[in-house]
Amino acid sequence: MRIGFVVNPIAGMGGSVGLRGTDGDALEEAIKRGAKPVAPRIAQRFIDALAQLCPSPCHELSFVTAPGIMGEDYLRHRGFTYVTVPHAISSKTSARDTIVCTSMMLDIGVDVVVFVGGDGTARDVASVVDLRVPVLGVPAGVKMYSGVFAVSPEAAAKILYDASLGHAEVIEAEIADIDEEAFRQDRLAVKLYAIVKTLKSGNLLAPQKDVVLGDEEAKKAIAKYFTEELIDNETLYILGPGSTVKAIADAIGVPKTLLGVDAIVGRKVLGLDLWGSQLLDLVKRFNKRKLVLTPIGGQGFLIGRGNKQLTPEILKYFTKGDLIVVATPSKISKLQYLIVDTGDPELDKRFAGYHRVITGYREEVVIKIVPASAVEDLT
């Protein structure tokens, strides 16, 4: 198998600083807020995992890669055969670099294109690839609504290795993305951009995210239960994104951003759309703290998709016992388990295990929370 490999080195930088993407002028703002690159580390995790799966020297896999930080840097000294496309990149890479490099890979000839990035990178790759060869996403973005992403870098490596042995399925998937400007204004607008081929092995490919804002009565029932029996005036409640969590805030009578991370104590708002040090400093101030989250519909991600503001530095102050998970019955019934991907595999294990999910007024179900790196074990 010959693999086209391209990395968007700025993907995901906006997440930890509350920008929910890096399109347009958002990158400069992310840098001003102190954001650090995350995609290079994720790309190296993917290549390292693939190297562990493939005996050295690996004759099953070879690469056609983008130069420098967009691909070649992660392959050096890992035992893979590779060639680099003849495209010069600057220190400030762009969508055009992704498109040009991917086009060159197809001209040279590849069996699959693997990219590290988010929905924006998926759109760039799909604009060139179309249905010519499968594409596989290594998740490094903020949103990842598209249906081509593995659940983790390690899962992407396993899918690719299975495909090289003929053990993976080629399926069609949708490339979808949101309007980031609308997203920053707390409005959700999702658009379908393309249909592509991708690779599936077991349950290692994350389903496309459901964008459903229904189940209003169930949300009101969850909110009623929360306000009557779960809230107190001494605990800090960090409210994650989502319409179900927003219904709780509405019932309490406090404002809540639909897509941001907010904080309350009792019926008092301490901050809206929080990120970085402002969120971390607030968490440190309280001895009693709870994290109120709802999973992503269709995908099951509880931490690591859509709430990148919850960095490992912040999450280390919480335990699994501090989680309050809420979801409507229709959402939770479609999920076999919930997934956490904090960015720190050891921290993921802290939140793993069976946990209750509030689905209505005094109604709960129990579901297993698994680290993203462990999803392979459930196939």
pLDDT tens digits, residue range 339-349?
999 988 899 99
Domain coordinates in residue numbering, the chain? 2-200, 216-378
| Residue bearing tokens 């890669």 | 65
Q: What is the pLDDT of residues 236-245, one digit of tens each?
A: 999 999 889 9
Q: What secondary structure letter does DSSP report for 209?
A: P
Across 206-229, average pLDDT: 80
User: For residue 213, what pLDDT band results from cuts at 50, 70 and 90?
Assistant: very low
User: Does the pLDDT of residue 224 top 90, yes or no?
Assistant: yes
| Helix, strand or coil, per DSSP, at residue 224 | helix
Cα 189 from Cα 200, distance rounded (Å)? 27
- DSSP string computed for 360-378: ETTEEEEEEEEEGGGGGGG
- For residue 17, is pLDDT > 60? no
Query: For strand 338-340 and strand 363-371, is the pairing parallel, antiparallel, or unpaired?
Result: parallel
pTM of the prediction?
Answer: 0.71
Judge whether residue 146 has pLDDT over 80: yes
Residue ranges of alpha helices (H) inside the chain are: 26-32, 39-53, 72-75, 95-108, 119-129, 153-164, 180-184, 216-225, 243-252, 276-285, 312-315, 329-332, 345-350
Starting at the earlier edge strand, list the strands of the sheet with 112-117.
81-84, 62-65, 2-7, 112-117, 135-139
- The whole-number average pLDDT for the span 77-92 is 90
List pLDDT tens digits, range 27-57. 566 566 765 778 999 999 999 999 999 877 6
Q: What's the pLDDT at 298?
A: 75
Predicted confidence (pLDDT) per residue in 277-312, tens digit: 899 999 999 999 999 999 987 788 999 888 889 999
CA distance 197 to 130: 8
Q: Which CATH class is domain 2-200?
A: alpha beta
Closest-CA residue to 222 (of 292, 138, 304): 292
Question: Would the pLDDT of 190 be above 80?
Answer: no
Token pair for residue 258? 């639909």
Average model confidence (pLDDT) for the chain?
88
pLDDT reading at 65 higher than 90: yes
CA quadruple 210, 129, 103, 191: dihedral, nearest 10: -30
What is the end-to-end Cα distance of the chain in Å, rounded? 23
Q: Is the dihedral of CA 128, 132, 138, 143 positive or negative?
A: positive
Distance CA 347, CA 316 (A): 7
Determine the residue type at 55: P
SS (H, E, C) 230-265: HCCCCCEEEECCCHHHHHHHHHHCCCCCCCCCEEEE
Q: 211 pLDDT band (50/70/90 cuts)?
A: low
Which tokens is 344 given? 């720190």
Give the phi and the psi of residue 269 in degrees, each rounded to 5.
Answer: -85, 130
